[in-house]
Amino acid sequence: MNSPLADYLRPSSFSEVKGQDEAVGSNSLIRKSIENKKPISFLLFGPPGVGKTTIAKLYAKEFDYKFINLSAVFCSISEIKKIIYDTKEKPLLNKRTILFIDEIHRFNKAQQDIFLPFIEDGTIILIGATSENPSFSLNNALLSRLRIIELKPLNPKSLSQIINRYEEKIKPLNLSIEAQQYLIDLSSGDARYLLNMIENIENLNKDKLDIKDIEKILQKRAINHDKNSDFHFNLISALHKSIRGSDVNASIYYLTRMLNAKEDPKYIIRRLIRIASEDIGLSDPSALKITIDAMNAYQILGSPEGELAIAQAVIYLALSPKSNSVYLAYNKAKEAANKTSHIPPPKNILNAPTKVMKDLGYSKDYIYDHDEKDSISSQKFLPDEVLDKNFYNPKERGFERDLLKRIKYFEKLRKSKNNL
């Protein structure tokens, strides 16, 4: 066996593809296309080692087309142009072409336009593969011409089946059951990584190994986390929504996932400050203070000691009563302010430092609220155009219960003074 193990064990039919039933099962778009003998252009989107290249090759094998396999990492747009123009200008010398571009997101959005007219006129069937979210990495014109097929990380059962395939085709593994499970866990859904680890272990020709042996042989896998990738944004989104949903276990889990991946703790803290205002607000005013305290503690201690303060803040936020009333009030007021930015405030609450301004009615009839009974007057503060607007509506939860009582109290006092 001269080829890498992952290539040697590559599935030779769709029935051998593991863990991607939605993408290649009997009712999938790919299989229907094959049954109808009508090839389509599509994009395979998913993390490394889940079968993107395998599926593309199996699909192309079903049609009597020329298959060209390229990677955007190694080829240039000029090479792509030559292949496409040769296909178009010399149809008698070339079969119709299925062009597979791995890592297609490496081409910038302007370069991606090269494919558009040739997909449109049928010169090529394009199969793209990407580990990046196509919504951000591919331009809209290309996306509109491709069917998007998402591939998922392989589950433990599928990875176990791949180990079985290795043992059937090559030889039994010299690993304990626990060590095999450890490899599966370490693979994180990546079949290629699993097979590469098996290949490294088998090359040692040692007796049956256990987990401790594996840990000595294999270095800890680098965590799949790029600050510009989906993993970065997905984890911060998961953390935010877990706190919003008051799931303390999920919240602390996603925090540690991010810290283990060497995410910048200051980035996490900035999001926690936002959560304290956006999702908790005045239902627990201490939430913002505790988050700011965590920021200060981290600035003093740094990592790893300061990370405990971040964990403390995450737990507190997750268990705080939730309210988005401040968030909604701000956005409602902002919308009203944008529509009425030309309208001045009532003159009675404006300063009048000059005689001219006094003559114009500035500050006329202003009432100093502290001089009034209960320190509240009946004077008007809003322009007539927004007088009926009610921006802040506290929820009957946490400290906002008290604020709701205060609002009703002040409303009652104003009404009683207006009736005098």
> pLDDT class for 224, splitting at 50, 70, 90?
low
Q: Are residues 25 and 114 in the same domain?
A: yes
Residue 186 pLDDT > 80, yes or no? yes
- Note the pLDDT tens digit of each residue in 283-323: 999 999 999 999 999 999 988 899 999 999 999 999 999 99
pLDDT value for 401: 94
pLDDT at position 2 is 66
Domain assignment present for residue 224? The answer is: no
Q: What is the mean pLDDT of residues 389-414?
A: 93
d(CA 101, CA 124): 12
Check whether 154 has a pLDDT greater than 90: yes
Distance of CA 316 to the CA centre of its chain: 24
Q: For residue 219, is pLDDT > 70?
A: no
65 and 137 belong to one structural domain: yes
CATH code of the domain covering residue 99: 3.40.50.300
42/142 same-domain check: yes
Strand 124-130 with 42-45, pairing = parallel
Q: Does any domain span residue 289?
A: yes
Looking at the fold, whether 36 and 115 belong to one and the same domain comes out as yes
Give residue-wise pLDDT tens across range 313-361. Answer: 999 999 999 999 999 999 999 999 998 988 989 988 898 889 888 888 8
What pLDDT does 300 receive? Answer: 92
Burial class (CB in 10 A: 0-12, 13-18, 19+), 324: middle
The token duo for 321 is 């009563």
Give, as one character, the DSSP assignment of residue 277.
Answer: I
Q: Based on the fold, state whether residues 63 and 103 are members of the same structural domain.
A: yes
Q: Is the pLDDT of residue 1 over 90?
A: no
Q: Does residue 205 form part of some domain? A: yes
**Domain final position from 169, 188, 217:** 217
> Of 109, 126, 150, which residue sits at a domain end?
150
Is there a single domain that holds both residue 256 and residue 310? Answer: yes
Task: Give tens-digit pLDDT for 78-92.
Answer: 899 888 888 877 655
My answer on whether 84 and 160 are in the same domain is: no
How much is the average pLDDT of 7-15? 90
Q: Is residue 366 part of a domain?
A: yes
Q: Which domain holds residue 167?
A: 156-217
Indicate if 142 and 31 belong to the same structural domain.
yes
Same domain, 242 and 312: yes
pTM over 0.75: no
| 239 and 302 together in one domain | yes
pLDDT at 262: 84
Residue 175 phi, psi (nearest 5): -125, 145
3, pLDDT greater than 80: no
The residue type found at 208 is K
**Per-residue pLDDT, 254:** 96
List, for residues 255-290, the tens digit of each pLDDT value: 999 998 888 899 999 999 999 999 999 999 999 999
The answer to whether residue 225 is domain-embedded is no
- At 325, the amino acid letter reads S
The enclosing H or E element of 102 equals: strand 97-102
| Whether residue 124 sits in one domain with residue 64 | yes
Q: Which of 116-120, 198-202, 230-234 has the lowest mean pLDDT?
A: 230-234
Among 150, 178, 197, give the residue marking a domain's end: 150
Q: What domain count does the chain have? A: 4
Does residue 223 register a pLDDT over 80? no
**222 pLDDT exceeds 80?**
no
pLDDT in tens, 63-74: 888 889 999 989
The domain that holds 349 is classified in CATH as: 1.10.3710.10
Indicate the helix (H) or strand (E) that contains 79.
helix 77-89
Q: Is 144 among the domain residues?
A: yes
pLDDT number for residue 84: 86
Give yes or no: residues 206 and 117 share one domain: no
5 lies in some domain: no
Amino acid at 58: L
pLDDT at position 228, please? 54
pLDDT of residue 265: 92
At 320 the pLDDT is: 97
Structural domain includes residue 7: no
